[in-house]
Structure formats: structure tokens, C-alpha cells
Structure 1
Amino acid sequence: MKKLTIATRKSILAMWQSQHIKDKIKNKHKELEVELIGMKTKGDVILDTPLAKIGGKGLFTKELEESMLRGDSDMAVHSLKDVPVDFPEGLGLVAVCSREDVRDAMISQNYASFDDLPKGARVGTTSLRRKMQLLMMRPDLNIISLRGNVQTRLKKLKDGEFDAIILAMAGANRLNLKDEVKYIVAFEIDHMIPAMGQGALGIEAVLKPEILEKIEFLNDENAVIETTIERDFVASLNGGCQAPIGVSARISGDEILIKAVIGMPDASEFLTDEISIKKSDFKCAGAEFAKKFIKRGGRELLARAEKMASES
């Protein structure tokens, strides 16, 4: 194999992530030519509608997957939190890279902390998970849907349309946003549980041995373990990328602490729990933890959440 082609979204963050992986592959396989192919996905094009209303699952991956299935590209680099738990035949999640900061962050030009936000503050996010947890902490907030790439969102913040916006801390770090905005404040996981896979880059690829052998070195053991638990938890609940589900698995020595929350987008109902397991038991931990939520009506709750999101 002489050339490896990476399909990528054209947003600045997606291009940064794909270039980052391209550089890693080139450093490992100096003889290999690596090319990036930029393209737009449905999630990039339709910006005036909340994600939950236009399909949720795979909005940022479908066009990239079609490119791989046609043979136009060999792999794609995703923010793992945007990757559905199911894949088309012939494709798969073949590598999970080491995680950046997994937390969510409040970005603001005027307020140095979440508690400083005034009553009724306008907070921008398109994530139902973030909306739910923001309202769990501060029912007074005015949560407004905010679509677009990071630069578009920052412009709206700077133009005064929002008092704060919520982004992944990983993206803020990768794009060095501390030089562009006044305040970046990370939420501790006890206050806002991240999305499955947040902070990790996931490599989806055509399942051919000659491709897999070139990129398997990108796997990070701890990231694989943590995100396997998180993705299995969501899969067991039949939840998608946009569902109001927060789940975090964190390795500490030989133990893994797992926290999760699910509920309605308006925080009128929610379920939360946490457990600690041995690291060696990770393979079935996500599905087993999900059973605790299922017994408490978790699937039905998420079905009602999906209905609420599609009607709002």
C-alpha cells in the first residue's frame, strides 16, 4: 500500500484533527503518501434546524462513510462523540486515540464563572445532553439552540447574541481558543457528565487488512477501555449521538469510575447513577450499567425525550 486517503469535514476543527492524524501516520510510515479529502456533511449544511429534528445519528459521518464505501477514501477521523454505535457493512471503528480533556466548557466574554451568569442568561448549545444538565443546575437559564462551526459560534458570542456558549474543552484546547475569548471555564464531571467518547478521536476505516495494519498503532489502551464502556452504555439504551445521555468512564489505577445521566431535554425528569468496577471487567461494564437505568424506565424516558426534541 503506497497511499492512504482520509475523508474529513471541512470545518477548522475537523481539518485540525485530520491533519493531526495524518502527521502521526506520516511519522510512523514515512514511505506512505497520505492525502486529505475535504467534504461537507448534512450536519454542516443544515444550520437552521436543531440536530434532533434532522436525524441525529450520523449527521456528521454519513457522507464520509459513503466516500469510503465508494472506494474514494480509506478512512475518516471523527470526534468520537459524534460517531454512532452502529456502522455500515465493510466499515468499523478501528482506532481510538488518546483522550484530550473530556469535560464541557462554558465560553463567555463577560462572565468568569457559571454562577456569575445572571438570571435568564442566554446560553447557546445544540446538545440536548448539555441543555438538560444546564437546566438541572440552573432552571432559570434561557437555553438557545446554537448551530454552526466553532468560528460561527464564537462570532455570535462576541456579537452579543449569547451571554455564554458551551463547547467541548477538547475542541477549545485543540484550537487554542484561550487567545480568542476572555473566559473558558471547564465544568467538573460531577456537575456536567460528558457525551460518550468526548475528548477522543475515533478512526473509522474500510475493514481491509492492509489499511488496518497502517493505523492500528493509533489505539490508546485507556481510551479504548473508557470509550468502549461509554459506547456500550449508550448502545444498550438504544440512544443516539444526540440523545440526552451523559456517560463518563474514568480509569484510576486498577479501578474505573462510571457516571451517567439520562433524561428529558428540559430536565423535568432525569435518572443518574454511578458505579466503580475493576479495570479487568470493562468489556461488559457498559451494558451491565445500562441495565440499572433500563430497570428504572430509562428506555421509555429516552423515547419521551426524543419525542419532546422532535416536537419542540
Structure 2
Amino acid sequence: MKREIIVGSRKSKLALTQTGHVISALQAKFPDVTFKIHEIVTKGDRILDVTLSKVGGKGLFVSEVEQALVDKKIDFAVHSMKDVPSELQEGLTIGAIPKRESPYDCVVFAEKTNLDELPQGAVIGTSSLRRASMLKRYRADFQIKSIRGNIDTRLKKLYAEDFDAILLAEAGLSRMGWLSDETLRRQTLDATTCLPAVGQGALAIECRNDDAEVLAMLSEIHDTETAFCVRAERAFLKTLNGGCEIPIAGFAQKEADGGLVFTGFVGSVDGLTRLDVQTSGDTPETIGIEAANILLKQGAKELIDALRSL
């Protein structure tokens, strides 16, 4: 490949770090290719004074990036998979899904080191309705306070504002190289306590579906096992027509025999209502769709419609 490759990325420190990791992996395999990052500000980056659920719409962190792909201003884009809507713009495809980082959520504390050590009425920061629902189910006394901004901004707010703790994706801390920071008081939450978001910990590398050169290049960093799991999770999300305004989670794990076990949930923000499901099988899309249909029969559509009406 001889042409210069323009890579689209959000301007946040984490997004640029993730994009840098992808470029490094590709550069090792294609040393003669020149890569250049094109920074893009998305709607989700511009509107920081309200929760994501109130901003509304899908693709808050990807729509402008996708448009740059359609307009051929960039050749591919690096997204956090959990930000990517289940429906892509026409003419675009996910060209590669690299190996997944930790899919789990992580609590970072101002002073304590465990959720159970927090006092009654502790204030926990998150802009995710999924995380809020999980926390309220774990302990109804927790006070959930919205917190927006890049990962480094949220960490600064933890210490500067009235928070006992905040929730972050552990993958982001890992990619930033902060998990080795011994001063960071943190606790990884297992899937039983806080079920991960669809695609959490995975990256999506999106490109035009007719760009054979880029597709061939991206295939070199594609991880089939990660993609196998993410396919089930995204099929679940698509069938439920989920988005950031709904407390929804879906997490697939590959078994030793090659099959998948999928766990999903839809709940209320206060944690009082929660619909849970677990399915297993060999075909990712079938497993995800089956799980979604089980929840729909349990009343998930009515719950989702009620949440959207708010």
C-alpha cells in the first residue's frame, strides 16, 4: 500500500491514545505506510453540561466521524465499540475489531478502596444509566451524580468536587497506562455486580466497505475471538433497539468448547426493575437475538418505551 492513510479520531486524550495503539500495530506490519491522525470533535464531546441520555440520539461520539468517512476525508476511524450504534451509515463497515481489553467497570475512590467501605448516601459519579442502575441495585442508598468529560477530566473532578467515587471503564485506564499507578484507589467490578456495556473494552475500526486496500490492511489486526463475542452483544442491542438513554447491558464470553455464554439485562435507572437473561450456543447473532427476544417477552419493550418517553 503506497498511499498515505488518514485515520479519524475523537480529540480526547483516551481516543487519541487508542488510535495511536492501532496505528502502532499497523505500522509494525506495514512499515512503508504513512499514517496521519485527523482529529474530529463529535456532538457528544461538545455537549458536556447534561447527561448523555438527555443529549438524545444514537452515535453521539461517532456520527461526525462516520460523515468524514463518507466524505472521504479519512480512510478509517478508531472508535470505542460501545459508542458505535448497531446500524452503521450506508457504505461503511467495521473492518477490524482488535483484541479486547478488560470489559469490566472500575470504581475509582477519593479515599476508600471498596464499595462496601463507602458511607451511607455516598456520592458516586457516572453519566451511564446502566452503571447507575447497577449501583442502585447493589446499594439503594448510593447517590448517583452525573459526571461528564474525558477520562482525565473525570478523575480530576473526583478529587476536586463532591464525589466519594466515580465509575470508569477499566479498559480506558489500562490503555492510558494508569492501572500501574499505586496511588489510584480502585476496585474492578465483576460482571455480577456491574454487567458490562455492549462492546465495552473492544475497539471498532470503521472504514468504507468498498476500500479493498484498507480492508486488507485492517484484517491483519482483527481478533476473531473478540469479534465472535461482540457479534452476539451487538445483535442483542440491535434487536432491543437500545441506546445510551436505556440502562442496558450485554456481555458474551467464549467457552473452552468454542461456544458462547451471553448475559444481558434491561433495567430501570433506580435499580428497582431489572430483567435478566442468559443464553448460550454456537452462533453469535442467534444467541444475542434469542436473549433480546426473551427480554422482550418479559416486558423489555414496555420498559424501554417508558424510559424513552421521559
TM-score, structure 1 normalization:
0.95
Contact 1:263 1:270 in 2 (8 A): yes
Contact 2:52 2:244 in 1 (8 A): no
Q: Deviations over 1:66-99 (max 9, x none)?
A: 1111111011101101110111111111211111
Q: Deviations over 1:278-308 (max 9, x none)?
A: xx33231111111111111111211112233
Task: Give the corresponding residue for 1:51.
Answer: 52
Task: Give the corresponding residue for 1:285.
Answer: 287
Counterpart of 1:216, as a letter, is: S
Task: Give the corresponding residue for 1:297.
Answer: 299
Q: CA deviation at 1:202?
A: 0.7
Whole-angstrom distance in 1 between the partners of 2:37 and 2:10 = 10
Task: Give the corresponding residue for 1:172.
Answer: 173
Counterpart of 2:94, as a letter, is: L
Whole-angstrom distance in 2 between the partners of 1:134 and 1:158 = 20
Counterpart of 1:227, as a letter, is: V
Q: CA deviation at 1:181?
A: 4.5
* Identity between Structure 1 and Structure 2 (%): 37
Counterpart of 1:296, as a letter, is: Q
Task: Give the corresponding residue for 1:73.
Answer: 74
Q: Does 1:261 align with 2:262?
A: no
Contact 2:129 2:244 in 1 (8 A): no
Contact 2:199 2:230 in 1 (8 A): yes
**Within-5 A mapping of 1:1-312:** 1=1, 2-178=3-179, 179=181, 181-207=183-209, 208-254=211-257, 255-277=259-281, 280-308=282-310
Q: CA deviation at 1:242?
A: 4.5
Q: CA deviation at 1:161?
A: 2.1
Contact 1:4 1:74 in 2 (8 A): yes
Counterpart of 1:293, as a letter, is: L
181 and 188 in structure 1: CA distance in 2 versus 1, 3 angstrom threshold: same
Whole-angstrom distance in 2 between the partners of 1:114 and 1:154 = 17
Q: Deviations over 1:156-206 (max 9, x none)?
A: 111142100000010111112242753110001111100000000111111
Contact 2:69 2:207 in 1 (8 A): yes
Whole-angstrom distance in 2 between the partners of 1:283 and 1:307 = 29
Whole-angstrom distance in 1 between the partners of 2:59 and 2:51 = 14
Contact 2:7 2:37 in 1 (8 A): yes
Counterpart of 1:239, as a letter, is: G
Whole-angstrom distance in 2 between the partners of 1:189 and 1:75 = 32
Query: How many residues were matched structurally?
Result: 306
Contact 1:264 1:304 in 2 (8 A): no
Contact 1:238 1:299 in 2 (8 A): no
Q: Which stretch shifts more, 298-307 or 101-110?
A: 298-307
Whole-angstrom distance in 2 between the partners of 1:116 and 1:136 = 17
Q: Deviations over 1:239-298 (max 9, x none)?
A: 124421111101121232211110111223220122332xx3323111111111111111
Contact 2:279 2:287 in 1 (8 A): no
Whole-angstrom distance in 2 between the partners of 1:152 and 1:161 = 14
Counterpart of 2:142, as a letter, is: L
Q: Deviations over 1:83-125 (max 9, x none)?
A: 1011111111121111111100100121110111111111000
Whole-angstrom distance in 2 between the partners of 1:180 and 1:35 = 34
Whole-angstrom distance in 1 between the partners of 2:24 and 2:273 = 45
- What SS does structure 2 have at the residue aligned with 1:93? strand
Whole-angstrom distance in 1 between the partners of 2:73 and 2:125 = 36
TM-score, structure 2 normalization:
0.95
Note the aligned Cα RMSD (angstroms).
1.3
